[in-house]
Amino acid sequence: MIQNGATARRHAGLESSALLPQAARAHGRAVATIGARLAAVLELAEEEIADIGLAAALHDIGKAAVPRAVLDKPGPLTGREWRLIRRHPGEGERLLRPSFADRPTVLAAVRAHHERWDGAGYPDGLAGAEAPLAARIVAVADAYQAMLETRPYRAPLTPAAALAEIEANARSQFDPDCAAALRVVVRA
């Protein structure tokens, strides 16, 4: 099959997810599924739903630029280590820019996936709708899926318990409309 330039570059961008460990790739795929479902509930256009799926799958690609010892550290992080972690959204945007120059929604969502509704997130401290909707959707999908997964320090939550946690943090951490959409997705 002959690929045009944009398709070939995008393929290269998706392959960059191989930079992440297997568990992170599996997490990305699950976040992509939930993110696309949230986007559909919010009645976004087909192209936006596709962009959100891509951004959700690749949202943590910038962690490839953070030392593994910092990512895997079991105890509390030092200030310097925390600064390294907080660089991963911007690093992800930078890494994906050559492959997704024609899909600004993907790049913006990757950069803003750790912003919070109350403006206390990173890297840019965007509040409310200042963060792109695609990023607010990925944030909810990422946090929900993470709670369903086992972590060394806790058992997985049930879908109902994870949904309750997202709803409890709507308007502080999460976009309330995205939290409401998650209720529809989880109950479906």
Q: Which residues bind Fe ion (CB under 5 A)?
A: 60
Smallest gap from Cβ 145 to Fe ion, in A, equals 12
Residue with the CB atom nearest Fe ion in the bound state: 60
Smallest gap from Cβ 130 to Fe ion, in A, equals 18
C-alpha closest to that of 141 among 66, 41, 71 = 41
C-alpha closest to that of 56 among 39, 77, 68 = 39
| Residue among 60 and 115 whose Cβ is closer to Fe ion | 60
| Residue among 67 and 160 whose Cβ is closer to Fe ion | 67
| Residue among 102 and 119 whose Cβ is closer to Fe ion | 119
Smallest gap from Cβ 6 to Fe ion, in A, equals 26
| Residue among 9 and 33 whose Cβ is closer to Fe ion | 33
| DSSP labels, 58-110 | HTTGGGGGS-HHHHT--SPPPHHHHHHHHTHHHHHHHHHTTT-TT-HHHHHHH
Smallest gap from Cβ 3 to Fe ion, in A, equals 30
